[in-house]
Amino acid sequence: MSSDKKVRVRIAPSPTGPLHIGTARTALFNWLFAKKHKGEFILRIEDTDSERSDKKFEEDIEEGLRWLGLNWDEFYRQSERGAVYEEYLAKLLDSEKAYYCFCSKDELEERRQAMLAQGLAPKYSGRCRAIPAEEARQKAGGGEPYVIRLKVPDTKIEFNDLIRGKIEFDGSLMGDMIIARENGEPLYNFTVAVDDALSEITHIIRGDDHISNTPRQIFIIQALDFEIPEYAHLPMILNPNKSKMSKRSDNVSLESYIKSGYLKGAVLNFLAFMGWHPTDDREIMNIEELIKEFSLKRVQKGGAVFSDEKLDWFNNNHIRTTDTKELLELAKDFVPKSWKLNEAMIESIKGRINRLDELEETLRFYFELPNYEGALLKWQEMNFGEVELNLNKIKDVLDNMDENLKRDKVQKAIMEIINNGSRGEYLWPLRVALSGQKNSPGPFEILEALGKKESVKRVDLALEKLDIPETY
């Protein structure tokens, strides 16, 4: 059908809220598909509902997609295409595939409720279909309020979903849908059908909550004599209780994840694995690998529950493999401005954190030595005298080193004095002296990050703490 055509896909968010993590996932799948097939990815802002649309959300969406690196080849807003929709609406009216409907909102609503009460799917009766076109046109021209409805055929309709196979609907159950409302504004299903066709979208990849919109859009496409694209409906991203995640009240905006310190590579990696899996057992993948391996054929049908734990694991892995220089830059946004981070500090916490927002707490000891108890310096059964002795020996080693303590060098020197002694009796007191905490990166990493001057200062402070008589 479209095998020889250039692949063109789109993400079509409506700017009625911040970029949702589910929208980001749909965007990613579209983008991956486009890249994989050397096609084009289009961003279309669906802002036909002027009441609910907001420019600030549009900006948030663009910003989020850019942050993820999901760049688009074309961009447009539906709100700027009024003339186009008018043209095709007129076409439909002229060819009598659509008609004016003068039924009042109140009576429609009444009928709707009645049908619902009977357990039937609400459906418009088609009453105004009977009004002769010329008469209707004059009524409408005369200022009588109207909406425009599409004549939905009484036929079955089926389409082949690339992920689910054949899906069938019954047009006779649908009723004539409204494609333009009273103020003349075209409605969702109509604008989507028109824009997808005019943009020559070859594959519509979207959430499966749109499955029931698909037959409606196909009816419009057929009425307009456009070509029907391929469809691929992605499984929903679910809350732990299996409900649709967009209905979660919690923060599900991409921004909230950015603020928590998730790396873009990790978010991309995790999102790709929500409903998709490569042919092998790999899980940690970068964007190039994802593009290479991506295939709609390997997309899952069932919904996927969003797991914060797994996201954390992905993030931990990506943090660990991110270049230290790059990580250092990213880290600056998560710690106080006054902290002068260096690469050794970042190196020392790689793999020890899941999110960048843990950085401030993890790195704090480098800038503010905790006020710890002298007793913490003792390892196992040591007494203060032994701690003092070992710390002094280490201090002698440090005194003989350059200001710039390279990890390997300082480690070698200290290990030499430990010789065959107990590592714990040296390294524990040293590490506590340097970090002031029970748990921390290793002493050699800290030594390098701190430098000679500060390290010696901290060892001296530890020695002072030992002067206070042991109380227990």
Contacts of 444 (CB under 8 A, 6+ apart): 407, 410, 411, 414
For RNA, which is the closer residue by CB, 6 or 292? 292
CB of 5 to RNA, least distance (A): 26
Q: Binding of RNA at residue 428 (CB under 7 A)? A: yes
Give CA–CA dist 384/387, Å, rounded.
Answer: 5
Q: Binding of RNA at residue 352 (CB under 7 A)? A: yes
Q: Name the DSSP letter for residue 108.
A: H
Q: Binding of RNA at residue 277 (CB under 7 A)? A: yes
Q: Binding of RNA at residue 332 (CB under 7 A)? A: no
Total residues interacting with RNA, rule: CB under 7 A = 89
Give CA–CA dist 15/56, Å, rounded.
Answer: 8
Q: Binding of RNA at residue 302 (CB under 7 A)? A: yes
Given 309, 403, 416, 467, the residue binding RNA (CB under 7 A):
309
Which residue in 38, 166, 247, 340 is the catalytic one?
247
User: Which residues inside 129-188 make contact with RNA, applying CB under 7 A?
Assistant: 145, 147, 164-170, 173, 178, 181-183, 185, 187-188
Nearest partner of 51 among 22, 14, 19, 9, judged by Cα? 14
Q: Quick check: 65 and 24 in contact, CB under 8 A? A: yes
Give CA–CA dist 295/207, Å, rounded.
Answer: 16
Task: Specify the amino acid at residue 358.
Answer: E
- Number of Cα atoms under 13 Å in the Cβ half of residue 181: 10
For RNA, which is the closer residue by CB, 39 or 161? 161
Give CA–CA dist 388/465, Å, rounded.
Answer: 10
User: Which residues inside 29-58 make contact with RNA, applying CB under 7 A?
Assistant: 46-49, 52
Give CA–CA dist 413/397, Å, rounded.
Answer: 7
User: Which residues inside 358-417 make contact with RNA, applying CB under 7 A?
Assistant: 379
Q: Binding of RNA at residue 448 (CB under 7 A)? A: no
Given 54, 62, 283, 357, the residue binding RNA (CB under 7 A):
283
User: Which residues inside 91-130 make contact with RNA, applying CB under 7 A?
Assistant: 103-105, 108, 112, 116, 119-122
Q: Binding of RNA at residue 85 (CB under 7 A)? A: no
CA angle, 393 then 398 then 401, to 5°:
140
Q: Binding of RNA at residue 441 (CB under 7 A)? A: yes
Q: Quick check: 459 and 433 in contact, CB under 8 A? A: yes
- To the nearest 10°, report the CA torsion of 172, 178, 179, 180: 170
Given 39, 261, 303, 436, the residue binding RNA (CB under 7 A):
303
Encoded one letter per residue, x for contact with RNA by CB under 7 A and - for no contact, window 202-221 reads ------xxxxxx--------
Q: Quick check: 370 and 437 in contact, CB under 8 A? A: yes
325 labeled binding residue: no
For RNA, which is the closer residue by CB, 39 or 44? 44
Given 9, 68, 201, 236, the residue binding RNA (CB under 7 A):
236
Q: What is the CA radius of gyration of the chain?
A: 32
Tokens of 214: 């698909």
Given 438, 457, 460, 464, the residue binding RNA (CB under 7 A):
438
Length reported for the chain? 472
Is 247 tagged catalytic? yes
CB of 208 to RNA, least distance (A): 5
Positions at the binding site for ATP = 247
Catalytic residues: 247
